[in-house]
Structure 1
């Protein structure tokens, strides 16, 4: 049986069943000197009491390492070495994480305010909650105040999963034991390993996910999956393979997944 809960803002600071939740945030980075400091600052400024930030650098060749050094704070852990891409870096980070909960902060992204992780931690207040997620805004790379696409996740159901639904990957937080039971990112997927992992986790686990109905993260446009027409076609092929691998659906689910994105471009005021 699958279960979900939709929390209103007033619910977040009610008494909870467990103690303080430690959150590990993982950032995979390669040659992002212009944006990495903001991603780090975004995590540093979170008011939640117990956060670690793992920066997994793929041996950057620009000024990324210098930017990381300037932005350094005592919640950070850092690795810099060649890797096989973003999912290899994220897998390294998960293996190093010591938190009860793991989330991803891409090197171009940032939290919308300083209370995001406090709200996430409160949503994990019951021990049987395995996943928490929220909404995401895509913003222009050169102007982070300009929202060009709004991804409203909505509550989860298995039916939605079969119609191409997924939560925005940068807003998804999972208990560490989900990775331990179901495995890390499948690196045979070069662009869609996050989607494949979400299909695997949501279809194989009773995650009891909690949806926070507000924007948690802003993402700059220009990621690996939407950089060109060829990348978009490659992404669609990998999405289809992920659906088939996990027995979730096929071409109809892929079509629903792509069509559902159209409404995200009707940006709310």
Structure 2
């Protein structure tokens, strides 16, 4: 079963090598690696092109886009794997057997999606865990409590995107949350929680880097909740409060 992994990047020369290495060194043999660059500087592009020449499973494109969700949508459109996942340019897979473990979960449990846990790590010292996002098995009422799986850990059958659509570009920060609500509320879909750290994410993501972005994220979260007919402002509040227990003392 082929797995398509998508990385969207823009001027990521400081982190993209570690990101790519974590994908390219996976033990799973059938990975299609799609890198969607947004028209980066020469240094980033040189790293991308040099690596792409060494690995025939890399599909590389570089052109201006409308932001990360547009880039991810472009990647999904190129994907030919039965399973699709993302590794963002500041992130890296937690170990070399992550994809093998995910595929085994798909095969064993016959589900539409698999998700797991995520570590937020320090920007320079990636061994230092700042925030530990431990998920849990899915039940529908969790959505009303502001729960969501960590999106970078979520691997889905490609057929899910074909049927339920891509990321909505009206959202600048919360398109992943809107998409998750859209698919997790479908009664005919099944998901498996893998109690394993899937991704390590460097701190400093767009949704949390300043108060303005946090407020915009909350507004977009509320719009996603209303659009998908799940919850209200209390759901947004619970979603934000639930993150506090993830931080390491």
Instruction: Indicate the residue corresponding to 1:55 in structure 2.
Output: 35
Looking at structure 2, the residues matched to 247 and 266 of structure 1 have their Cα atoms a distance apart, in angstroms, of: 33
Output one character per residue of 1:125-175: Cα deviation in whole Å (capped at 9) or x when no partner.
058410000000000111111110000011111011111111111100000
What residue number does 1:211 align with?
193
Aligned residues: 247
Q: Which residue of 2 aligns with 1:179?
A: 161
Give the structure 1 partner of residue 74 of structure 2: 92
Q: Does structure 1 residue 45 correspond to structure 2 residue 32?
A: no
Q: Is the 8 A contact 1:41 1:71 kept in 2?
A: no
Q: How does 1:218-237 map to 2 (within 5 A)?
A: 218-237=200-219
Q: Counterparts of 1:86-125 in structure 2 under 5 Å?
A: 86-125=68-107
Aligned position for 1:81: 63
Matches within 5 A, 1:1-269: 21-72=1-52, 73-125=55-107, 128-266=110-248
1:207 Cα deviation after fit: 2.4
After superposition, the CA RMSD in angstroms is 1.2
Q: Summarize deviations over 1:174-223 as a string: whole Å, max 9, x none.
A: 00011111100000000000000000011125321111101111000111
Secondary structure of residue in 1 paired with 2:128? strand
Please give the secondary structure, in 2, of the residue aligned with 1:125: helix
Q: CA deviation at 1:62?
A: 4.8
- Would the aligned equivalents of 2:109 and 2:192 in 1 still touch at CA under 8 Å? no
Paired residues of 1:33 and 1:62 also in contact (CA < 8 A): no
Secondary structure of the residue aligned to 2:166 is coil
1:28 aligns to what SS in structure 2? strand
Cα drift, residue 252 of structure 1: 1.1
Q: Is the 8 Å Cα contact of residues 22 and 101 (structure 1) preserved in structure 2?
A: yes
Give, in whole Å, the separation in 1 of the partners of 2:108 and 2:95. 24
Tell me if the contact between 2:118 and 2:198 (Cα under 8 Å) persists in the aligned partners: yes
Gaps of 5+ in 2: none
Separation in 1, partners of 2:161, 2:7: 17
Structure 1 unaligned spans of 5+: 1-20
Alpha-carbon spacing, 1:30–1:205, altered in 2? closer, same or farther (3 Å) = farther
Checking the alignment, whether the CA contact within 8 Å between 2:129 and 2:248 is kept in structure 1 is no
Could you tell me how far apart the structure 1 residues matched to 2:109 and 2:121 are? 34
Normalised TM-score (structure 2): 0.96
Structure 1 stretches of at least 4 aligned residues deviating more than 4 Å after TM superposition: none
